[in-house]
Homo-oligomer: A and B are copies of this chain.
Amino acid sequence: MCREAGIVLTKDESDNIEVVDEGLGNVEGTGLQIVTYINTERVCAKEIIMFPFQTCPEHAHPAVGDYVGKEETFRCRRGTVYLYLPGEKTEKPAAIPPRGTEMHYTVWREIALKPGEQYTVLPGTLHWFQAGAEGAIISEFSTKSLDETDIFTNPHICRTTEITD
């Protein structure tokens, strides 16, 4: 997918794409593939690669100590991504949460992002997103990523479970 999108990865990056199943063991449903370009104390940049209808489950990035929390901008590069945020519920949302996890999705204001479109999520804001039928590639520009302190609505989720292939 990266190759088709013109995104050049080093061998080391493509050999080490992070496959995140959020501990639910159903990565095609709930999960992401991530290439982290950089994650310093101040700046983080990633490509997020999503298969069709794959879902990043509802979560927020809280303040941790002196850190006011992660601010992140999602910029769609390929496909369509449906992003959900607090606010008035969208009448006919495009996304359907993975079966059996529906109760863990509580924010339903939909922002559809097509290639070239982007949206900034501020710290502490509940959000989730799902790729459309073609899958999606999303660039994420943010402050420092501290995945282990993310707060997920679904109590079964464990972000630190990782399979690297």
Contacts and interface: CB of A to CB of B under 8 A. Distances in A.
A44 B75 CA distance: 13
Contact of A117 (B10, B142, B143): B10
Interface stretch (A17-25, A35-43, A88-96, A127-135): A35-43
A103 interface: no
A45 interface: yes
Number of copies of this kind of chain in the complex: 2
Interface of A: 5-10, 13, 37-38, 40, 42-45, 71, 73, 75, 77-78, 115-118, 120, 139, 141-143
21 contacts: A6-B7, A6-B77, A7-B77, A8-B77, A8-B78, A10-B117, A13-B116, A37-B141, A38-B118, A40-B71, A42-B71, A43-B71, A43-B73, A43-B141, A43-B142, A43-B143, A44-B141, A45-B73, A45-B75, A45-B141, A141-B141
Given A37-B118, A42-B143, 20 more contacts: A6-B7, A6-B77, A7-B77, A8-B115, A9-B116, A10-B116, A10-B117, A13-B116, A37-B141, A38-B118, A38-B141, A40-B71, A40-B120, A42-B71, A43-B73, A43-B142, A44-B141, A45-B73, A45-B75, A141-B141
